[in-house]
Amino acid sequence: MTSSTDRNSPVIWDVLIIGAGLAGLSAANDLLQAGLKVLVVDKGRGLGGRLAGRRIGDATFDHGAQFMTARDSRFKASIAEWIDAGVAEEWYSSYPGHANGHPRYRGVPTMTAVAKYLATDINVLRTTRVDSITQESAQDNQLWSAALDNGDTISAKALLITSPVPQTIELLTSGNIAVPADKQARLDRIDYEACIAVMAVLDGPTAIPAPGASAFEEGPIGWISDNLQKGVSKIPAVTIHGSGDFSAEHYEDDKMQTGQRLIDAAAPYLGNAKVTEYQVHGWRYSKPSVVDPEACMLLSESTDLPPLALAGDAFNGPRFEGAVLSGWAAAKSLIAALA
């Protein structure tokens, strides 16, 4: 079970992690295994960041990340562990008419199950935003001080930030944290695609062929999946992701009207089924379109800053696996910096 901090928690944490997504939770586990005291803070109610699920009546949706693939040997071992724990299973390895590719794995019952499993032994403070970060002195040590939106302050020897890079830059600016010019240039190059996600409840089965998903290179839809076929929902329900271009063009438009446009575009895949209810969610930083070539960034390297690292899928590729590998790399960097 995840737990929140209380008044008896340590005054100074070894590592404060901002963000309970895949990178943050993966890093936290490695840091805990190294014997460090770790606190994770996240502004959201749930865990996993873009591993997001939602219920509408009897329908259940994966409306963020849809699956994971594995190429790295350690990550393959992690997926095997998750399958043994009952929080993941193989979904499919090819679309109809396509050659088999890397197996796609899904969370069970939803993608958020993996995040909950990763957070089992971690102190997580949820629905809490870090408003600003500054340096503070404690005896002979330089520490990080994080001001929270609930009025509390957290002190830590090291800091890991895993939020989308534009938000990270804002946070660094709030504390007047000087970023080396070469690293600032790398951060400025990173860019993201937005995504408008539609969750639609249907009155009957879709016409989407097995395994219940299709990706598109052109048009307003980037992805559509059948949550009933996927095993996520007990009743017919689809997730529709707008393409990067469509989502960028219409991100500020009325969400329900934009969602209806995507539903209309998806009509051939819905067959005779009608939408009885739908909701729309906007992912402003859905996935990086330009990533940094390194697995993480040790921002404090060759500076007077206390240990400070950045991680996330913007540092190792826009996949589920990339975020996990980035978290592991950041943990390794911070363990070395604190030694």
* CA–CA separation, 282 and 248 (whole Å): 10
Across the range 163-188, mean pLDDT stands at 93
Per the confidence metrics, is the pTM higher than 0.85? yes
Domains defined for the chain, CATH in brackets: 12-49+117-190+291-338 (3.50.50.60), 191-289 (3.90.660.10)
Contact of 33 with 209, CB cutoff 8 Å: no
Instruction: List all residues 6 or more positions away from 144 whose beta carbon is below 8 Å from its beta carbon.
Output: 16, 133, 134, 135, 136, 155, 156, 157, 158, 159, 306, 308
Q: What per-residue confidence (pLDDT) applies to 7?
A: 41
Residue with tokens 């095997």: 80
High-pLDDT (> 90) share of the chain, %? 85
pLDDT of 99: 63
* Token code pair at residue 215: 């990706």
- Which of these, 50, 297, 318, 303, lies nearest to 187 by C-alpha position? 297
The Cβ of residue 268 has, within 10 Å, a number of other Cβ atoms equal to 8
pLDDT for the residue numbered 3 = 41
Q: How confident is the model at residue 50 (pLDDT cuts 50, 70, 90)?
A: confident
Cα-Cα-Cα-Cα dihedral sign, residues 251, 310, 118, 3: negative
- CB contact set of 40 (below 8 Å; sequence gap of 6+): 17, 18, 19, 20, 24, 25, 28, 119, 122, 123, 124, 125
Could you tell me the pLDDT band of residue 317, with boundaries at 50, 70 and 90? confident
Mean pLDDT of 37-61: 93
Question: pLDDT tens digits for 206-234?
Answer: 999 999 999 999 999 999 999 999 999 99
Give the C-alpha distances (Å, rounded to integers) separating 124 from 26, 41, 270: 13, 6, 40
Q: How confident is the model at residue 98 (pLDDT cuts 50, 70, 90)?
A: low
**CA 121, CA 29: separation in Å to the nearest integer?**
8
Residues 133, 154: Cα–Cα separation, whole Å = 9
Cis peptide before 109 (omega within 30 of 0): yes
- CA pseudo-torsion sign 95, 100, 102, 108: positive
Residue type, 29: N
Report pLDDT digits (tens) over 241-252: 999 999 999 999
6 pLDDT above the threshold of 70: no
Q: How confident is the model at residue 121 (pLDDT cuts 50, 70, 90)?
A: very high
**At residue 120, does pLDDT exceed 60?**
yes
Least confident of 160-169, 204-213, 303-312, 313-322: 313-322
* Segment 10-38, tens digit of pLDDT: 579 999 999 999 999 999 999 999 999 99
pLDDT of residue 331: 98
